A and B are shown apart, each in its own frame.
Chain A
Amino acid sequence: MRIRNLRKTFDEQEALKQIDLDIYEGEFLSLLGPSGCGKTTLLRIIAGFEQPDQGEVSIGGVDTLPIPPHKRPVNTVFQSYALFPHMTVLDNVLFGLKMAKVPRQEALKRAERVMAMVEIESFTKRKPHQLSGGQKQRVALARAIVNEPKVLLLDEPLGALDLKLRKQLQVELMQLQRRVGITFIYVTHDQEEALVMSDRIAVMQTGLIDQLGSVEEVYERPKTRYVATFLGSSNLIDGVVRRYQDGVASIDTALGELRSSIGSYTPNSPVTLAVRPEKIYVKSDASAYYLENVLEGVVEDIIYTGVENQYLIRVKDRTFAAYVMNKALTEHEAFNIGNQVKLIIPAQSVVPLND
């Protein structure tokens, strides 16, 4: 699926400024961004509910924009589920096949298979208002995939569910996608959800795709300030590149010299560096790490999340976040507020940003 130079304006408000996107067959792609970033508009254009002002969309080489929504090889799982309230679960699932004039026997067979897949086969005779949120979600999913679309569009389908159910369904959705092999385009504002499920993530902001890449790429090598902070969190440090030699850059910052062994630099130009909190080591003694960046600081605050200790550490006039896994062995040290500590920042964890 190809999207080129897509623009869309609502009442002089630019919803999509310029979207170029290639989506591969069978992949799980997430469109990640805050509300109002244009991700739902993009989804609705693919589904056919909106027409763009400009640009092209094609699926399997076929220009999709002139095709009305009911003839497109895509199906949508709506945020509000949009189940037909006057029909049973089974009739909801059968609706698409009925519209496609699939013979009744075959349609029933396909519906049964899909309903078993998403585990709703035990309440096919119920009406939507008799279902829980999670069950409705499964019905909406079954109703869409039973049509075997080329592309399945999911618009924050787990948004209305509680955390525990959401986490369970995230895993189920991911496994389902692998099993049926349909291309999933998944819209979400939840960065964790996107990380858990996707093959690739497109991080969106104000009508543009900031960064597109595999989950690891986008997380480990964020290109912009926005991606570095929206997807997970990052410590940002401004500086000027002093030297760049043999793949290692020395950057002058307010905290002293920092070295980075990742990305490319231009000497004598300003740069913003991003460091993920969990990549920082917190030690009382850093003498064994003299080859890495070492900063000295004072523990200002500790947030205990169970999984980790999140230290807020004052280094000169800056506060650094550093997350330390809560483990019993492996040279584990625990600190208290006011302790003097050393921050060890590996050169390969210092990522340059474009802006």
Chain B
Amino acid sequence: MTKPAPPWRGKRGQILATVGPGVLWITLLLIIPSLVMLAYSFLTRYRFNRVGYPWTLEHYGTFLGFTQLGYDPIYLSVFGKTLLVAGGVAVLAVLIGYPLAFFIARSGPWKTLLLTLVIIPFWTNFLIRTYAWILILASNGPVNSGLQLLGITGEPLALFPSLGAVFVGMVYAYVPFLILPVYASVEKVDWSLVEAAADLGANRLRAFWYVIVPQTLPGVIVGVLLVFVSALGNFITPALLGGSKEVLIGNVIQQQFGPALNWPFGSAISFVVLGFVLMALYLYARAAGQKGLEVLN
């Protein structure tokens, strides 16, 4: 048996022209800087944010809570809280986004309009959208005035700044990330299977659970990953809506690269976060197997 010729034989020029720019871009602007950061995270920090040898695990140790003043897992607790917040945001996004995506996919001629309405906020700067929530949740903002007008509350509620406001801001910002992939998977649902389920004795709820949920699950997983990963690294929303108390890991990293001028420590935390993201992606890939790849494509 002769070995089949590799598909790229004699096409070097074409491949270079098509794949080349992308590879170059990613290498120059993503892979090399990441490797530099990885190296930073293992280097010793000297005064004025200079770094040098010897290699050290000190920054990872600091993250785990081992400081010169003894054991204090402050960064771990911030990271734990961040994971919980990101997870919570993802869950809320599913609860709000899934029914909405379903409704949009089933709304016939209105589909395009509704989908556009979901996407429109993206055209506005993220900062502006977040600032808007400050106004909305302020003590004299529309939410509080409305509640008082209706006589539900007497005094204005301290809605902002708070962890609740951070949740609201993030869920609002990220829910389209969930709606779009779920919408795509609802669009692909084979509705004859719902009839088949009904024919075999499933009421509406069970037909939904046994037939529609498994069919839309890949979209939900993709959406959850997008929301979770975005929320994990977010520092703008907690900075603006959380006040000084509600610090997430994104704020810590931003501080290290900004005012604290401790780039090796900032790099170390970034790589821990990155590790979690990669782990989540790995778990997803393993759970979804080949089918997941089809969905991502």
Contact = CB atoms under 8 A, between A and B. Distances in A.
Contacts of B192: 78, 80, 82
B201 A147 contact: yes
Interface residues of B, number: 18
Given A70-B202, A80-B192, A82-B190, A95 B197 contact: yes
A60 B190 CA distance: 33
Nearest to A99: B201
Contact of B199 (A75, A83, A85): A75
A90 to B, nearest CB: 14
Interface in A111-130: none
A84 interface: yes
A47 B199 contact: yes
Contacts of B214: 84, 86
A96 B190 contact: no
Given A84-B211, A99-B206, A70 B190 contact: no
Most chain A CB within 10 A, of B190, B196, B198, B215, is at B196
B196 A69 contact: no
B200 interface: yes
B196 A82 contact: yes
A139 to B, nearest CB: 12
Given A84-B211, A95-B210, A70 B196 contact: no
Contacts of B200: 70, 75, 95-96, 99, 143-144, 147
Contacts of B107: none
A76 B199 CA distance: 7
Interface in B186-214: 190, 192-193, 195-203, 206-207, 210-211, 214
A76 B201 CA distance: 11
Contacts of A96: 200-201
Nearest to A79: B192
A179 interface: no
A69 B193 contact: no
Contacts of A83: 196
B8 to A, nearest CB: 30
A67 B174 CA distance: 43
A76 B197 CA distance: 10
A173 to B, nearest CB: 18
B203 to A, nearest CB: 5
Interface in A304-319: none
Most chain A CB within 10 A, of B198, B206, B214, B215, is at B198
Contacts of A78: 192, 195-196
Interface in A145-180: 147
Contacts of B197: 70, 84, 95, 99
A109 interface: no
A95 B197 CA distance: 8
A71 B193 contact: no
A49 interface: yes
Interface in A5-60: 47-49
8 contacts: A48-B198, A49-B195, A70-B198, A70-B201, A86-B214, A95-B197, A99-B206, A100-B201
Given A70-B200, A84-B210, A95-B200, 12 more contacts: A49-B195, A68-B198, A70-B198, A78-B196, A82-B192, A84-B196, A84-B211, A84-B214, A95-B202, A99-B200, A99-B201, A147-B200
Task: Please give me the 4 A-B residue pairs with the lowest Cβ-Cβ distance, nearest first.
Answer: A99-B201, A96-B200, A82-B196, A86-B214
